[in-house]
Structure 1
């Protein structure tokens, strides 16, 4: 392998501007939940192509990365023709996995429409089995993680789904059972 070009990452990564498409609007008059994932997926492709995990990587090196787990929080409706940008923060990675956090933000007004925490696996496309990242990709992930480590830890990271319990006084207790 020849001399490697240094990689530079913005913290967080910010996607290109995307628009809510008319076909994505459901009978409630807002974007159907499935299409939030389309926007997240497009931004994942943009963001991780910077570390070398794009379509070119798939075609030349016969490997890719697959979603293993995601947790999405819907915060505000998106409507037809809204323009959005998606931020991506690499939280952590190891030899075979990447853990990241994303936010869909209204492009003009900046409010958060949805958040997503994801865990993806690096996969050999010929065997369809999880395998370690090659050294050059791992090195790029290290640079991205170092850059993104300067960001605040996302508040929604590791969030658990549940209905808060109520005490006798009526104070909500988070599903974790601890009070804040």
Structure 2
């Protein structure tokens, strides 16, 4: 987890548990969605930044790899890696861990797009946001590309 950004923490609650006694698949994505909200705050697209710049992020694509189970009451943490970016997009990977034993529970690769709220179309990041993105990207340059990045779903034959 070196240089990965600890972006979100939560405790697994009863409403998120399925008939098998562990976290329902949809709530993994809820945790990743909350992590994306926290990332927005981190790069300056919090409520004040969205109001100031008139921008927000939309998720264009998301993939989840479910790797291990988590149960009621367990604490989880989401660490984020900015894999790539350009003037309008972020390519990120969220890693969901159980800190009690360091177990990697799930990974979500996502493509996010900067959107002008009023126009509803893609626009370049505002300069202060772009600067924060650049700092985050630079701080993670030494990280290897995540193993669950750019995978394709298919049945191996």
CA deviation profile, 1:4-58 (whole Å, cap 9, x unmatched): xxxxxx8210134310111011112111111111111112222332211222212
Unpaired segments of 5 or more residues in structure 2? none
Question: In the alignment, is the contact (CA less than 8 A) between 2:8 and 2:79 conserved in 1?
Answer: no
1:99 aligned residue (91, 97, 104): 91
Unpaired segments of 5 or more residues in structure 1? 1-9, 166-180
Shift of 1:135: 1.6
CA deviation profile, 1:83-128 (whole Å, cap 9, x unmatched): 1000100011101100001110002111011001000000011111
Which of structure 1's runs of 4+ aligned residues deviate more than 3 A?
none
Shift of 1:79: 0.9
2:146 aligned residue (146, 154, 177): 154
Name the TM-score, length of structure 2 as normaliser: 0.94
Within a 5 Å distance, the mapping from 1:28-67 to structure 2 comes to 28-67=20-59
**Structure number, greater radius of gyration:** 1
Q: Name whichever structure is richer in strand by fraction.
A: 2
Root mean square deviation, CA, Å: 1.3
Number of residue pairs aligned between Structure 1 and Structure 2: 156
Within a 5 Å distance, the mapping from 1:1-180 to structure 2 comes to 11-165=3-157
C-alpha separation in 1, matches of 2:29 and 2:47: 19
